[in-house]
Amino acid sequence: MTLYRRVWTMELREGAEAEYDAAHANIWPDLTAQMTQNGIVRFFLYRAGTTVFAFQERNRPFPASNHSPPSGLTARWWRKMAPLMCTEGPEARPVHHDLREVFALDVTTETTT
């Protein structure tokens, strides 16, 4: 199966680290179900101070634009997270900075004998 990756960073507001971590420790089950329905097979968040590093893999290509309108559920999550993060626009979309892949080592490819 071909997997499509995207990686980006986001910034938290100073002092919001613990609340951000707690929100993700208790992420809404319907939000994770929506991600799976949208083809997300892996989604990892890492944090160093106020910088959040996000990694996603999906079983189909990502939309060409990261600025398509969010689902109602995603919009609700963004509003919940808005006081904790740097956001933009009326949707309180998290400000993100896409990262370009420069190296990948993948030894998980199945082989047949």
Query: Looking at residue 60, what is its pLDDT?
Result: 94
Question: Token pair of 19, please?
Answer: 């609340």
Dihedral angle, C-alpha 8, 12, 18, 20, nearest 10 °: -60
Residue 13 near residue 83, CB atoms below 8 Å: yes
For the chain, what is the largest distance between any 2 Cα atoms, rounded to a whole number of angstroms? 55
96-98 and 4-11 strand pairing: antiparallel
Q: What is the mean pLDDT of each run of 10 residues along the chain (113 residues)?
A: 93 98 97 96 98 96 81 96 96 95 83 53
Query: Looking at residue 63, what is its pLDDT?
Result: 85
| Helix, strand, coil share of the chain (percent; to 5) | 25, 30, 40
Query: Model's pTM, two decimal places?
Result: 0.88
Q: What residues act catalytically?
A: 24
